[in-house]
Every structure is written in C-alpha cells, then in structure tokens.
Amino acid sequence: MTTVEPITAFVPVAPDADWETVRARLMTEVASRGPGWTDHNAADPGVTIAEVLAFGIADLHFRTSRPPFTQWPLAGDGYRAAADRHWHTVLPLPELRTSSDALAPLATTLAATADALEPIVRAAASRADADAVLAAEPWRSAVPAGQRIPLLAVLRDGLVRRTALEFADLVSDVVDGEDRREGTPTERDGRAAQRLALSLPLWPDELAALVRRERRRRVLDIATARRPAILAATSPADRATVIATLVGDGLVAAEAEIASAAAPLPAGVVPEDLEHAGGATRIWPPHAVQALTCEPVTAADYARRARTHPGVARAWAVKGRLEGVAWHGLPTTDAAALPVGDPRRHWAVDPAAAAITLVVETRDPEAVVGDEFLREVLARAIGDQVRHPFLAYRDDLDDETPRRLVCDEVGAALLKRIGVVVQARLVVSATAAGADVVADATGRLQRYFREGRPESAVSERAAESPSGPWPDAPQPAGGWNPGEAIRFTEIVEQIVADPAVLGVEALYLGREGESTLTAASESFLTIPPDAVPVLAEGDCLAIVYAGEKGCGHAES
C-alpha cells in the first residue's frame, strides 16, 4: 500500500490562489498512481472531484487572505508572468513530481542552520558577502550548493517584509519624489531604489522589491478610484476610454485591461481575454464571463440569473414542468387537450416531470405579459437556446452561454395568485365588538399571506447584495414562496393574536373557485407550485359569543 504525499505549496505566489497550479499537481499525482483513471469515464467522476478539490483549496487561500473585493480583479497577480507575481522573492523550485521533493531537503537544512545562520545573513552588507559566508566552513559543509539561493531567500524574507511594513511611508515619499522628475517608469523606480539605499539596510534587489511593492499598491488605489467609471463603461468605446485613462494614471497596458474587466459584463470581453493560452485564469476569483462556461449551474443560479431581467421582481426555481414556456421557447399546454401522438405532449404541463421551471413575479403585478416576456427571462437564465434550441453540434463549440447540468430542462412561468377561502367561527367574549374582531383578523391574514411565514421568507440580511466580482440579484425580503402549503395551525395563530378571540371553531380552508373545503383534520392546504396565496374576498368569518356559564355560547 502506498502513502499519498500531502499537497504542499508549489510556488508561493501572492495570494497563493493559483487554481491551475494546484489542479496540475493533483492531476500529475493521479496520473502517476492510477493511469486508468480518466475524466472521460462517466462511471468514475474522481477526476472531476479532484478538480473541485483543487478549486476549493485555491479559493480557501484567497479568502483567508481577505483581500477587499473593491480591488478585484487586480488583487491577484495571475495576469502577470509567473516570475513577477510576487513583489519580493520566490523559491526557485525545480520541476519535480511533487513540491515536497524539493522542499523537504531545504526544510532539513533550515532546521539545522537557521538559528545560528540567520543573524549572520541579515547582517551581510551585500549578497556577495552572504555568498562568501556560505562558501566558507562550517557552512559550506552544512549547506549544499544547490540550496544556497533559496536558503538566503528564506533567511532574509522576514527582514525584507518587516522593513516594507515599518518604512512604507518612507518608500511612498521617495517614489512620489521620483515621479515628479523626468524619465521612464523603469528609470524612476531605479533612482528610487538608489535613494532608499541611503536609509535602509537592504540589498539592491530587495530595495527594488520595496519600490515594486509600492507601485503595485498604487495600481490598486488607482483602479479603485476609477472603479465607478469602469462599472459605467457599457460599450467597447467606453471601455477603451477607461483603459486609456488608466494608462495615463500610471498603469501599464496589461494592468489597465485587467482592471477594466471589473464590470459585471465588460463590453467586448470574452473568456479568452481573461485566461492564459493554456486555459488557466489570469484573475482570481474568475469572472462571471468565465464562470458561465466552466461552472455547473444550479437551480438557485437559474433563478438568480432570471432576476437580472429588469421586469422581474422575484424568481424561484420550482420542480416540474408548469404552464408557461418550455426550454425551447414554445408554450406548454395541458396534455389532456392534445390528441394522442401530438409531439407537444413531450413538453406538456407535468408537475412531476424531471424539469425545472423558473416561476417569476413581474415588477408591475397589473402588467399584461405573454410568452415573449418569459422567453426573454429564460434567455437570461439559460442563454440563446430558448430561441435556437436545435443547433448542430458544431455550432455549440465555444458557446459562451451558461453551461447547464446534463439533461437540465429549464422552462419559465408567471407567478399566479390563488385566492384562499378561510371559513371559521371566532369565539369571543360577550363584550367584544364582533365587527372589529373580524376586520382585525382579516387584516392579519392578508398581511401574513403577503409577507410570508417568518421561517421561510427571505430575511433582510440575505436579501443584501454581497460585495464581490459577481453582482448578485438577491431575492427581495419577505413574501410567500410558491407552492408552500398553508398550515391550519398558523391560520389559528393569526386569528387568536387578538386577545378578544377566545378560540376558533369549525375552521376550513379552500382554494377559491373549488366547491369543496379542506377540514382542519388534514393539517394543511396545498397550493399549486407556481402560485402564492391571497385571502379571498367574502364574509367567511363568523362571530360566536361565549356564554356566561359553562362552555355554552351563542352565535352572532
């Protein structure tokens, strides 16, 4: 039995969130230990699970570093060349099968020498002096020649980072001074590093790293200040203007192009613009434009995308095929009204079908909308397939519409409001004002159906749009969820909330238009999956005055 080596850092790039690197290392390990394990084997999704694990590791690294999303997408340096992603130094690890093969010998050397050697290396006036120390005994025998460069990097790293934090104001002032002088950015940064050498006890390459760190901080500040203009750029021309402005502010062209992608749907940007030639993302977290084509979409994602339509107030993903339009844009119909053999039976209304229906509520409840509105909503959720459902397989290559789960059938339907009849006798004291008690109970029931039960309604906190690169379309707070059954107990709770009501008798619930009512012994009243309840009009609450003796009472 072999022991799987732990996954360790490959290259310590900031913010250590390179998903492609983690994935590649995992795949190398999988290939070396199980050649027959492939992603093309539908019965063994192990590789897909491994990729999800790599994604989770990279995202965890990103989130624990807690970068502000206002600095996205420039916060991660994946768009830079691999050697330039960290402002200071990286360990020059060789291309070994696992990074632990390279890190283990270095860790052993550090454990044996760091306590005594670190003060000496930090006190060295130059890299040449430090190299001379390592080339002489006793360190020549203790430190192999191939480990000297990474060992110096580790021993000096703490000093460089502490200096960067403690003298950040000095570095900023020096860079400001050089920016007021002539010269190219490279020339100005070189002069800034030379001036810092007069004040800070670091080596030339470390001083240059401090200047590089300050430059990258300023890049983030500039992009953050220009963020309103970036988000407002809705055309390729607007985006080009923003890029030119960012370059004028001091960003290089590559930084300006990445910064301009912060908009939810950046004009003229395709996924390839945000990815390296091999497919690895250049930004982290990935942009929504990338995520559409590479991440499985869940039912909640369908509903969220439907809510981005300007005419939609609320949207839910409901199981079953309901009355509305099907995934290909054609209207669903009642199967009973279709003759046997009619192809429309394949997308007839069927609440038990293995399908998803996006039930949407319009912002204007009085507006009259038809199937075309539902097609527009469906296009937001699943892409142009609703208008071009039967494309040849070649036409589906490089599709930039949302990637749906295998065999997902997604339709759309309008939210219905179904009247609910509440029939009951309210037992009140002899001195109670019956008309007022009925009016108060009616108002509470209307409000309860309108606001929804507290345990299932969307809370105000959940309705807030989170800060992030994917602007959410949150469900508004409150409201009844479609298809939620009405419990008799909660109707009683609303009625007896008035202290004047002593009890409730002969409680029945029913759907308006139906001839039969449901007794309390049934515990709840079912609601169609595409509907929410409203209190039906009518005088269905009667008052019963409790008698003065025993349990007797008289009806009003």
pLDDT per residue of the chain (556 residues) written in tens, 0 to 9? 444 454 444 444 444 456 667 777 777 776 666 555 454 444 445 566 777 777 777 777 766 766 677 788 888 788 888 777 778 766 655 544 444 556 777 778 888 888 888 899 899 999 999 999 888 888 888 888 888 888 888 889 889 999 999 999 999 999 999 989 988 888 999 999 999 999 999 999 999 999 999 999 999 999 999 999 998 888 889 999 999 999 999 888 999 999 998 887 788 888 888 888 777 788 877 887 777 665 556 778 888 889 988 899 999 999 999 999 998 888 998 888 888 888 888 888 888 888 899 999 999 877 888 899 999 999 888 877 788 776 655 555 555 555 554 557 899 999 999 999 999 999 988 888 889 999 999 999 999 999 888 777 665 555 454 444 455 677 888 889 999 999 999 999 999 999 889 989 999 999 998 889 999 888 899 999 999 999 998 878 888 887 644 445 555 5
Measured over the CA atoms of residue 348, residue 352, residue 356 and residue 361, the dihedral's sign is: positive
Are residues 334 and 434 located together in one domain of the fold?
no
Are residues 474 and 495 located together in one domain of the fold?
yes
Strand partners for 420: 511, 535
Residue with tokens 């199980």: 34
CA dihedral 289, 293, 298, 299 (to 10 degrees): 80
The CA-to-CA distance between both ends of the chain, in Å, stands at 84
CA dihedral 395, 370, 486, 522 (to 10 degrees): -90
- Tell me what pLDDT residue 459 has: 59
- Tell me what pLDDT residue 295 has: 55
Q: Tell me how far apart the alpha carbons of residues 349 and 326 are, in angstroms, rounded to a whole number.
A: 9
- Count of CB atoms within 10 A of residue 242's CB? 24
Nearest by Cα to 165 from 93, 125, 217, 240 = 217
CA dihedral 288, 290, 295, 298 (to 10 degrees): 30
Using the 3D structure, point to which of 368, 397, 414 is the last residue of a domain: 414
Q: Where are the beta strands (DSSP E) in 328-402?
A: 356-362
Q: Is residue 493 part of a domain?
A: yes
Using the 3D structure, point to which of 414, 448, 472 is the last residue of a domain: 414
For residue range 290-345, list pLDDT tens digits in order: 776 655 567 788 888 899 888 999 999 999 999 999 988 889 988 888 888 888 88
Q: Tokens for 294? A: 């590479």
Q: Tell me how far apart the alpha carbons of residues 401 and 405 are, in angstroms, rounded to a whole number.
A: 13
Domain that holds residue 441: 416-555
Q: Is residue 288 part of a domain?
A: no
Are residues 517 and 538 located together in one domain of the fold?
yes
Are residues 440 and 539 located together in one domain of the fold?
yes
Q: Is residue 143 part of a domain?
A: no
Using the 3D structure, point to which of 414, 446, 477 is the last residue of a domain: 414
**∠505-508-509 over CA atoms, to 5°?**
145
- Tell me what pLDDT residue 108 has: 82
- Tell me what pLDDT residue 33 has: 62
Q: Tell me how far apart the alpha carbons of residues 76 and 17 are, in angstroms, rounded to a whole number.
A: 8
- Kindly report whether the global pTM for this prediction surpasses the value 0.75: no
Are residues 390 and 455 located together in one domain of the fold?
no
- Tell me what pLDDT residue 72 has: 85
Give percent helix, percent strand, percent coil of the chain, each to the nearest 5: 45, 15, 40
Are residues 420 and 545 located together in one domain of the fold?
yes
Strand order in the sheet with 312-319: 312-319, 356-362, 410-414
Q: Where are the beta strands (DSSP E) in 261-308?
A: none
- Tell me what pLDDT residue 116 has: 86
Q: Tokens for 556? A: 């009003």
Alpha carbon 487 to chain centroid, angstroms: 34
Are residues 518 and 440 located together in one domain of the fold?
yes
Q: How many structural domains compose the chain? A: 2
* Beta carbons within 8 Å of 372's beta carbon, 6+ residues apart: none
Q: Is residue 434 part of a domain?
A: yes
Q: Is residue 529 part of a domain?
A: yes
- Tell me what pLDDT residue 90 has: 62
Q: Bin 476: left if φ > 0, else alpha if -120 < ψ < 50, else beta.
A: beta
- Tell me what pLDDT residue 242 has: 94
- Tell me what pLDDT residue 91 has: 61
Alpha helices (runs of H) in 307-417, residue ranges in sequence order: 371-382
Q: Is residue 400 part of a domain?
A: yes
Are residues 392 and 473 located together in one domain of the fold?
no
Alpha carbon 492 to chain centroid, angstroms: 40
- Tell me what pLDDT residue 526 has: 93
Are residues 310 and 326 located together in one domain of the fold?
yes
**What H or E segment, with its residue span, contains residue 97?**
none
Give the chain's radius of gyration (CA, Å): 33
Q: Is residue 502 exposed (0-12), middle (13-18) or buried (19+ Cβ within 10 Å)?
A: middle
Q: Is residue 425 part of a domain?
A: yes
Are residues 302 and 333 located together in one domain of the fold?
yes
- Tell me what pLDDT residue 535 has: 93
Are residues 547 and 466 located together in one domain of the fold?
yes
- Tell me what pLDDT residue 164 has: 92
Q: Is residue 254 part of a domain?
A: no
Are residues 409 and 448 located together in one domain of the fold?
no
